[in-house]
Amino acid sequence: MNKIVLILVLLCGLASADGSGSGSAVAPAAPPGATAAQVAALEQTCADAMNADPNFAKSIELTINKQLDQQTIDAHVDALHHIQKNENHVIYAYAAMWVIAALLLVFLFLRQQALKTEIAALKRDLSRAEDKA
Amino acid sequence: MNKLLVPILSVLAAIGFAVSVYLVFFYTPLDFTIDHDSGRLVGTSLFFNETIMYFHVAHAFVLFTAVFIGGIASILYLWKRKPVWDDLAAATIEISVAFGAVVLVTGSIWAKAAWDVWWQWEPRLTMSLLLWLILVGYVLVRKFAGPSADRVAAGMAIFGMVGVPFIYTMVGQDSHPGSGANGVAFTLKGRMVVTFWVAVATFMIWFVALVITRVQGTRAEREVRELRERALDLGVIE
């Protein structure tokens, strides 16, 4: 709760410094070169303005919510892009497919060759034995 | 004709594979868009990994077909006792072990890429693994179970076949992007449909070429057994 109030106050101060009143699309940080006293004064101005005008307070709250939403969306989009460009796993999958197919072919080829050799040897031995008989 | 069949099918499969790769990477758009207003994903959330899907699911289709053919052939073998059915069953089941391995490995890699896990013990995955283990068991039984190996293996093939419809239609709380009639294959749209079915046709042709080759091998094994028996009778070998 304290954090939210602090963010609100900071944003409010920045909004006042910006002069727009809405504080849209600004970072919750002190203006560059501002002293602690100036920041405190801005915070006070912001707090006073918020207390005086509930609509202004609401607009600050809305701005923060929008920023949080945008951060969430950005995080999701970043994650999506990361997964979208994840070529490594696609390469692994294709490599696995090729390796298994190659192993199967080698296995079948070697087996066929071994069988052919054995059949030829057996036929040769049998014909010799039959000739002798 | 028989001698030319395998080379022709292999060439067709090679062409089909090249065409499939082109279609997957250059022709078919990735099936997702991001709605920037809500930041939400619109589509099947497959991302770039969907390029794995075309071959993963195509291999799964061939696996199911192979197991089904192996099961039917085993039933026919147990019923008619004709060696031709045993040859067909042995060939299809042995080839399906390789296709099953591709399905499991590519699926696991896909899972890691898409869901950041290599494996989940969800119903469909577990059943797929069990089916693959049954197929491996079939091969081992044929090799080591002795004279009655063909009949024991035939029983295992039938057991494996019965599991296929359960795996295919299994709709659990799993991570797969759709199962059964609502599965990926039947919800694809546009160019994805063309690419997917070209991939399936390619691997089916490849599968047929492999099965024919393996059946020839099984016949050669039978010839070796018969020659050995003759050689034993004549005292050529001990």
| Average pLDDT of span B15-30 | 85
Residues of A in Cβ contact (< 8 Å) with B9 = none
Q: What is the pTM of this model?
A: 0.69
pLDDT tens for residues A108-120?
A: 889 889 999 999 9
Closest approach of chain A CAs to the CA of B209, in angstroms?
11
The yes/no answer to whether this complex scores an ipTM above 0.90 is: no
CB spacing of B102 vs A115 below 8 angstroms: no
- Inter-residue contact A14 to A23 (CB < 8 Å): yes
- In this prediction, residue B221 has a pLDDT band, given cuts at 50, 70 and 90, of confident
Residues of B in Cβ contact (< 8 Å) with A118 = 224
Instruction: Say if residue B182's pLDDT is above 60.
Output: no
| Number of Cα atoms under 13 Å in the Cβ half of residue A48 | 7
Distance CA A124, CA A91 (A): 49
Nearest to B218 by CA among B14, B61, B68, B77: B77
Distance CA B52, CA B33 (A): 19
> What is the H or E stretch that residue B178 is in?
none
pLDDT tens for residues A32-67?
A: 777 888 888 888 888 888 888 888 888 888 888 888
Name the closest residue on chain B to residue A117, using Cα atoms: B224
The radius of gyration of chain B's CA atoms, rounded to the nearest angstrom, is 21
Q: What percent of chain B has pLDDT over 90?
A: 38
pLDDT tens for residues B113-123?
A: 777 788 888 88
